[in-house]
A and B are shown apart, each in its own frame.
Chain A
Amino acid sequence: MTENDNGEKTALILLGCPQVPVQTSMALYLMHGLKQRGIRPVIAGTTAARKLMEVADPGRYYLDEMTDLDDAIDEITGKQRDFDLCFVFIHNDSGIAYAGTMAYISKARLYALLFGEHAEELAGEIEFPCEVVAAKAVHNPMPLKRRLDEVMQQWAAVSKR
């Protein structure tokens, strides 16, 4: 059974190492945007990345399901589950590697969200099909937020057609 059998759209948000400050803030912002559009977000990430999310949203206004990175990959490769959308937060080579893996194993529409000091250089490393959303954002999330807003506005335009 896949996530989509009940008609509910779902999005996997794959968090990388949380050492760059904007990640947690942008993930919460993205979940807000998805929920507004009726898309249920599922977070997969390292223990530290998930704890940062839990502490930032104690009332669980945005957070729903959270899972371990390896468990999420197990479920997708085992064909037990898949998602409509997948967002991978990337600020290092490992992030590129995880996004490339998702491009291969999942049928989800893939978005590579690149941030940090070397966002543009990392974007040049992407050689698999996905939509690249990149901004040099380390402490200040606004450059990446603006890029993500543009993407979400495109969804609105498409859904109105």
Chain B
Amino acid sequence: MGGCLEAMKPEIILSQASFKEAREYIKKNVREYHEVEPGYKIFDVHIIGVPPLYVGIEGEHLIFPYTKPCHGTFVVKVPGGEELARLRERKGK
């Protein structure tokens, strides 16, 4: 896991899933979500996969797919900080 993300001790919502399963989880279970392009960076990790890729917002937290080459895709939840505003500013893009 990216060092920065790991230090934030993310809550693991879904583990060792496919990137499509992660996409569906966020779409079905998170009320506010935003589409991002592959390679979009949150903290020190890239969002990896085939479009559409979604990043969710729940309160002050971000919920997003995190893909590891050996262990599949995880859906993680971390405090969003400044990333929340950056994500919302993209609305309509």
Residues of chain A whose beta carbon lies under 8 Å from any beta carbon of chain B: 16-17, 19, 45-46, 49, 69-70, 73-74, 76-77, 92-98, 100-101, 103-105, 127-128
Contact = CB atoms under 8 A, between A and B. Distances in A.
A27 to B, nearest CB: 14
B10 interface: no
B55 to A, nearest CB: 15
B70 A17 contact: yes
Interface of A is mostly: helix
B38 A94 contact: no
A104 B69 contact: no
A93 B19 contact: yes
B50 A128 contact: yes
Given A101-B46, A101-B48, A94 B73 contact: yes
Contacts of B37: 104-105
Nearest to A17: B70
